[in-house]
A and B are shown apart, each in its own frame.
Chain A
Amino acid sequence: MAQPLSAPGAQLWLANLNALVGGLFLLVTFALVSLRQVYACVRGFVAQAVLLAASAFLLAALYGNWDLMVIGVVDLVAKAIVVPGVLRQTLHDEVQTRREITQVLNIPTALLAALALTILAYFLAQPMLAAASGPAIAVNLPIGLAGLLVGAFTAAVRREAVPLFLGLLAMENSALFAGVAIAPEMPLIAEVSIAFDVLMMVFVVGILTRAVHERIGTTEVGALRTLREESRR
């Protein structure tokens, strides 16, 4: 086990860089609500996973806990390389390049709602921060909570299978983002199994979406509310 970096200057730098990663993480989460193209959503998700890994690396140096380093690497491999690869393999080209995906709300409204959720998350995090405080927790906990809420919101407003599912994955990312700061001693096996779970989810959803697309020619979940015979004939 290595020692935490002790120089106060280095601590400040690491905490600030982690805060920057947190800010960008929040921004990418907003992007996932508002992007209009399926493939752009996938790239947004990859960016979010990379930022999560960056935060894990920075916190590994800050806390001197090298397990977090492994968590970061597992996260990078699973979500930044394998997930987009799997999605590209299983999904139809037409789904990938679809533009103008529809939403229940229009985009400025959805963004404002996401903003309200973020403010709510900051307020919810305040009593928790009173219990456990530290420069990294003060950044990661509220932003992770915000990501959790906004991810759920994304899953609720999207009407297209893949972005909807990416909203769920963003929730998982955000939970982990808060987790690396508040529980750096989280057992490695937990993170590895989560990453494995995510992969299984991607496989299942990818194949399911492909099947849905082959049968009815669209992956718009919003159009699936009525039986096919009634809506098409």
Chain B
Amino acid sequence: MFDRILFNLIQVLTVLLFAPLVSGVLNRLKEVVQSKRGPSILQPYRDLWKLFHKDEVVSEQASWIFRFTPYVVFVTPIFVTLLIPVLTDYPLFFAFMGDMLGGGFVLALGGFFATLAAVDTGNPFGPVGASRTRMVGFLAEPVFMIVFFTVSFVAGSTIPYIVQQRWVTPLASFFEPSHVLLLIAFLMLIIAETGRIPVDNPSGHFELAMIDESKSLEYSGRGFALVKWGGQMKFFVLACIYLNVLVAPWGLAHTQTLGAVVGAIPLVLLKILGLVLVLVAIESSLAKLRLFRIAEFLGAAFITSVAAMLSSLFAF
């Protein structure tokens, strides 16, 4: 019992501590691809440290929602961490409290509050970005649903610990068309949800073109640090769901020993590095889509996920 609580704590700490590192590596690699030197991979930690030591400025117009939101955005990814396999391939303490759909809705709660807070301050750019985020969100919703319907058709469950065993035993079923199409659709979903090229440019600072970034425009100091850290953790958590449940459930701890659980951390980070390389390739080779083309991008993701569902429903 005590062990399991400890393992849960280790999972949460992994997500907390390594999420900024992943974002730092991603930014550095993008700059390297453009033959620049780029910031140190530790830069996100320094940014967070700096922001935590700065004063916070809050608009007089803002209500409690504005003050409350950074905590929601920060806590929701941690909560999802309790539900999904980050380091272990056996269910931990809270694993049966919610499935992947539940995890998705918990993450959506953070997004909902971020939208409210962006509208709250009366800054004209906040609502513009917030409504764009909602547009991307509601176009992504059907993809999200179909992906999890397919998962539940195939694996008979949406509890991630049960699903992850399904695709690799036997190994030949890794190449089932429903699985591969699902992976493509979910990758497009991650790109849309975390505001990456081609949906949104995460390093752009031009207010009129912002989608995801504009929600945190009005934040400063500690609030900004929490929102930023929460965003990095959200990416880490989505990457964990994608990699540990859907793509490659290898390299996780089998046994309930401290050594195995801690030993799984570098392997998981290695897998995330692989995903980061794929994202860098995508971000460096594509241009940002115009706003009304996003419907086409997510339409393509929807078609892919429905094709995955069809091929699993009519499987031999």
B-contacting residues of A (Cβ < 8 Å)? 9, 12-13, 15-17, 19-20, 22-24, 26-27, 30, 34, 107-108, 111-112, 114-115, 118-119, 122, 125-126, 133-135, 138-139, 142
Contacts of A133 in B (CB 8 A): 316
B307 x A27 contact (CB < 8 A): yes
Interface residue tally of chain B, by bracket? 20 to 34
A-contacting residues of B (Cβ < 8 Å)? 170, 172-173, 175-178, 180-181, 184, 295-296, 299-300, 302-304, 306-308, 310-311, 314-316
B303 x A115 contact (CB < 8 A): yes
User: What is the minimal beta-carbon distance from A177 to any residue of chain B, in angstroms?
Assistant: 14
Identify B175's interface contact among A19, A108, A111, A126, CB under 8 A.
A19
User: What is the minimal beta-carbon distance from A6 to any residue of chain B, in angstroms?
Assistant: 16
Assembled-state Cα–Cα distance A118/B314 (Å): 12
User: What is the minimal beta-carbon distance from A150 to any residue of chain B, in angstroms?
Assistant: 11
Contacts of B296 in A (CB 8 A): 34, 107-108, 111
User: What is the minimal beta-carbon distance from A125 to any residue of chain B, in angstroms?
Assistant: 8
A23 x B311 contact (CB < 8 A): yes
Q: Supply 20 A–B pairs (Cβ within 8 Å), ascending by A.
A: A9-B170, A13-B172, A13-B175, A16-B176, A19-B175, A19-B176, A19-B177, A20-B175, A24-B177, A27-B304, A30-B304, A107-B296, A108-B299, A111-B303, A112-B299, A119-B310, A125-B314, A126-B314, A138-B315, A142-B314
B303 x A139 contact (CB < 8 A): no
A20 x B177 contact (CB < 8 A): yes
User: What is the minimal beta-carbon distance from A57 to any residue of chain B, in angstroms?
Assistant: 15
A19-B311, A27-B307, A122-B314 given as contacts; is B172 within 8 A of A107 (CB)? no
Q: Which residue of B lies closest to A109 (CB)?
A: B299
B172 x A12 contact (CB < 8 A): yes
User: What is the minimal beta-carbon distance from B142 to any residue of chain A, in angstroms?
Assistant: 11
Assembled-state Cα–Cα distance A134/B306 (Å): 23
Q: Which residue of B lies closest to A17 (CB)?
A: B175
A107 x B314 contact (CB < 8 A): no
Assembled-state Cα–Cα distance A17/B176 (Å): 7
The 10 tightest CB contacts between A and B, nearest first, are A23-B177, A138-B316, A108-B299, A20-B175, A135-B316, A16-B175, A13-B172, A16-B172, A19-B177, A12-B172
Contacts of A22 in B (CB 8 A): 177, 311
Identify B307's interface contact among A12, A23, A138, CB under 8 A.
A23
Contacts of A111 in B (CB 8 A): 296, 299-300, 302-303
Assembled-state Cα–Cα distance A19/B184 (Å): 16
Assembled-state Cα–Cα distance A155/B180 (Å): 28
Contacts of B314 in A (CB 8 A): 122, 125-126, 138, 142
Contacts of B181 in A (CB 8 A): 23, 27
User: What is the minimal beta-carbon distance from B235 to any residue of chain A, in angstroms?
Assistant: 26
Contacts of A115 in B (CB 8 A): 303, 306-307
Assembled-state Cα–Cα distance A9/B173 (Å): 11
B172 x A23 contact (CB < 8 A): no
Q: Which residue of A lies closest to B306 (CB)?
A: A115
| Residue among B170, B308, B316 having the largest count of chain A Cβ atoms under 10 Å | B316
A23 x B178 contact (CB < 8 A): yes
A20 x B180 contact (CB < 8 A): yes
Assembled-state Cα–Cα distance A204/B136 (Å): 44
Q: Which residue of A lies closest to B179 (CB)?
A: A20
Contacts of B303 in A (CB 8 A): 30, 111, 114-115
Contacts of B302 in A (CB 8 A): 111
User: What is the minimal beta-carbon distance from B290 to any residue of chain A, in angstroms?
Assistant: 11
Contacts of B180 in A (CB 8 A): 20, 23-24
Contacts of B176 in A (CB 8 A): 16, 19-20
Assembled-state Cα–Cα distance A26/B314 (Å): 14
Assembled-state Cα–Cα distance A125/B314 (Å): 10
